[in-house]
Amino acid sequence: MKLLLVGLVLLSLPLHAIEISRNVSPNVVHIGDVVHFNIQASYDADVSLVSVPEADDFEGVSFRSKTIVKNKGAEKLQLTLQYSLSFFNTGIQRIPSLNVVFKRGEDLLTFALPATPVRIDALLSDDPYETVKLEGLLDPFSVQISWEQYRRIVLYSSGLIILILVAGFYALRWIRSRRQCVVVPLDLRSAAQKALDELDELQALQYIEKHQVKHYYLELTDILKRYFSVLCEAPISEMTSTESLLVLEQALSPKTMGTIREFFELSDLVKFAKFSPDGQAHVRSFQAVKGVIEEEVT
């Protein structure tokens, strides 16, 4: 319901506040050549840029570089996003659909750019001078050999094949004789202790310091959902945030539900709207998840 209200607010924004377009040059290239994909946008001064497509958004495309150019025009701000890409499959390839997110006041406005087709040709062209080099090569089946030579070739080839098979047989026996039984230790930790250990491991990965904010919130949300999946004996890990809240509100206190609801809202903004919170918000989110788990333990 909240997302529906946000969508209605976005539709009420003046459409002329933001103008956005895209182009690709050239749209016919060879395998491995650089393709320049540009996104141009002009918007009013009271509109701010929230997020732009990153390398991991170009699925199936070899990402080379990204350049952001901002200029202040006479009436509007001008934004140019310049991407350098490459393809390594022939035929009609596509630059995937991408999202550019702006913010005006408290409202987010997401522009979805449709997929852009690019034709990729093979390195060799249809020029006859490139194929003439293949003419006149010796046909291996036209070589004349004597029966004695043929018999020796067959004999030597058969002996080599038998030798390879015997060597492979004894190598396999040796590998099997050295194979050891691997004993997997039983995890005797409680669900809460396991979740707290996973939080420590997540913090050690330093996603925030590496500017991988989306991965950080994905892992943080998964840890919390896995914990409540065990605690509530329900498949919460496979549910959306809204579905999870409907299940959890039947088992948790209003105070805990308020904390979880606030965390889910921020996490969904980061994961789906590419919202980038400040550093203190990351700390509060981590402490909120950890506090919920520790509170349920006590």
CATH of the domain at 72: 2.60.40.10
SS3 assignment, position 15: helix
Query: Is residue 152 a part of any domain in this protein?
Result: no
CA–CA distances in Å: residue 177 to residues 73, 173, 180:
75, 6, 8
Say which amino acid occupies 50.
V
Residue 112 has a pLDDT of 87
Residue 173: what are its φ and ψ, rounded to 5°?
A: -65, -40
Residue where a domain stops, chosen among 96, 121, 146: 121
Main-chain phi, psi angles of 249, to 5 degrees: -65, -15
- Please state the domain count of the chain: 2
Contact between residue 42 and residue 73 where contact means Cβ atoms under 8 Å apart: yes
The answer, yes or no, to whether residue 49 has pLDDT greater than 70, is: yes
Which among 113, 70, 121 has a CA at the least distance from the CA of 95?
113
Same domain flag for 117 and 205: no
Residue 32 lies in a domain: yes
Give 74 or 174, the one with higher predicted confidence: 174
Half-sphere exposure (CA, 13 Å, Cβ side) for 165? 6
Cα(232)–Cα(251) distance, integer angstroms: 8
DSSP letter for 208, please.
T
Strand partners, 22: 39
Q: Which of 177, 203, 173 is nearest to 289 (CA)?
A: 203
- Tell me, what's the pLDDT at 2? 37
**Which residue, 65, 87, 121, sits at the end of a domain?**
121
In a domain, 111, yes or no: yes
Residue 180 predicted with pLDDT over 60: no
Alpha-carbon dihedral of residues 124, 128, 129, 133, nearest 10 degrees? 80
Phi-psi sector, 105: left (phi>0), alpha (psi -120 to 50), beta: left
Would you tell me how many other CB atoms lie within 10 Å of the CB of residue 20?
15
Domain assignment of residue 160, yes or no: no
Eight-class DSSP state of 275: -
- This prediction has a pTM of 0.39
* pLDDT over 60 (residue 13): no
Span 22-43, mean pLDDT? 87
Find the domain containing 97 and state its range. 2-121
